[in-house]
Amino acid sequence: MIEVPPCRLASGTQWVLPASKSHLIRWIALGCQGNGALRIEHVGELGEDITHMIRGLESLGARIQISDGAVTVSPRDGKFPSAPRECINMGNTGTGCRFMLALASSIGSVSEITGDLSLRNRPFEVIIDALTDLGCFVSRDERGGFAISGPALPGKVALDLSKGSQPLSALLIAAPSMGVEVEVEIHGGIVSQRYLDLTFAICKSTGSANDLHGSNIRITPWDVTLPEKVTVPSESSLSPIIMLLERLHGVDLGSGNLVDSELVAPEISWLQSNDSGRLDLTAASDLVTPAAALLAIGGGGEIVGVGHTDRKESNRMVTTEGLLFDFGLQAHVRPEGVIEVPGGQTPKSPGGSVKTNGDHRVAMTAMALASLVGARIEGEGCIRATHPSFHQMLMAIAS
């Protein structure tokens, strides 16, 4: 537990966000399947979601080096993926876990994969069912860990992408190693569409001919051709938390310059231009917690398209409502995936400690609110998943 005291923030500091985990995880996973070297340059720190992905890939035989401002994937000196010697711990990264399951499906022996308590309690049935339909053995133990063995066989799978687009991204990213054609029938409306578009775009830049058209897709393996160097953007999905700090304290921390990724740009632009109204987060549901806080201290409104966030690090609709309540703010969750937020509210110091439910975005939003009114925050260590130095940076500009 940490105590964040009420403080005043100094203006003029330009906040530096960590590197985008969505871009890095995809590039690193593809880099391990190519024949050359790949240097991935970035600004900002690496969160544990990225480092857990790197360690997991190293367990499968990859050679990866982390240096200041870059991650380098070296040419492999053996088969990749190869059978891991020990259980792979993916920490808190749901994206990385799904990618790792798909990559492990090309290995004939059993691979064991686990994670922290949050990850082991999350649903993975969509990717598990797809790999099972392709002839793999996949099981979960009573603690939520996985055992998987392949190899995957050519076949057909049905994916419900109304619960998240990551299962299709996982099958596509792992296709060069799986080495089989997979016919995919998409069910449900696709959420997080831009993240899926990112996967297809990165794969296409390495030689993939696969494309996303309609509800039926044939995934075909390809020989991964790597560029010598790529540069990834920052984790723009965290910029609403910096915006919240700015509006709470009336300072400028440079949030207007933090959006360098197309993944969340329209929703961030809306938040920059509005403090009330209707915000659709179907394509960017990671923003829901700070967005709700921004509406609460602003003119109010409703957030729609976030029903699937019950599959995140926490049931994020419920934890968002609970977090705001802890700080004396109202938000009302509706069954249809809507959060109604009254406006004109003022945060109050919580009567007791604030729980983060192991959700890094909830924890950072809690710290932002606490910087105005003070609070004791439990489980703050979860911020290491994406922005390990967030609290340290916050306190550095506080007085």
First to last CA, the chain: 21
Angle between the N-to-C axes of helices 166-173 and 94-104, in degrees from 0 to 180, rounded to the nearest 10: 40
Report the alpha-carbon distance of residue 78 to residue 80 in Å, rounded: 6
Instruction: Count CB atoms within 10 A of the CB of residue 117.
Output: 10
Distances (CA, A) of 61 to 33, 80, 109, 131, 350: 10, 6, 14, 22, 48
Cβ neighbourhood burial of 120 (10 Å; 0-12, 13-18, 19+): middle
Cross-strand partners of 118 = none
Cβ(207)–Cβ(222) below 8 Å: yes
Fold held by 2-17+238-396:
UDP-n-acetylglucosamine1-carboxyvinyl-transferase; Chain (3.65.10)
DSSP code of residue 353: P
The predicted pLDDT at position 314 comes to 78
Q: Where are the domains of the chain?
A: 2-17+238-396, 21-219
The predicted pLDDT at position 336 comes to 84
As a CATH number, domain 21-219 is 3.65.10.10
Instruction: Count CB atoms within 10 A of the CB of residue 42.
Output: 22
Cβ(81)–Cβ(107) below 8 Å: yes
The predicted pLDDT at position 222 comes to 98
Beta strand 375-378 with 2-4 is: antiparallel
Ranges of the chain whose pLDDT falls below 70: 311
Cβ neighbourhood burial of 185 (10 Å; 0-12, 13-18, 19+): exposed
Cβ(265)–Cβ(236) below 8 Å: yes
In DSSP notation, 360-379 reads HHHHHHHHHHHHHH-EEEES
The predicted pLDDT at position 78 comes to 77
Cβ neighbourhood burial of 342 (10 Å; 0-12, 13-18, 19+): middle
Cβ neighbourhood burial of 129 (10 Å; 0-12, 13-18, 19+): middle
Cβ neighbourhood burial of 86 (10 Å; 0-12, 13-18, 19+): exposed
Residue type, 391: H
Cβ(16)–Cβ(61) below 8 Å: no
Cross-strand partners of 32 = none
pTM over 0.85: yes
Q: pLDDT tens, 25-83?
A: 999 999 999 989 999 999 999 999 999 999 999 999 999 999 999 999 998 777 899 99
- State the DSSP H helix or E strand holding residue 157, giving kind and residue range, or none if neither: strand 155-160
Q: What are phi and psi of 126, to 5 degrees?
A: -65, -50
Q: Which has the closest alpha carbon to 289: 366, 344, 343, 350?
A: 366
Tokens of 184: 């995919």
Tokens of 185: 């029938």
Domains 2-17+238-396 and 21-219 share a fold: yes
Cβ neighbourhood burial of 213 (10 Å; 0-12, 13-18, 19+): exposed
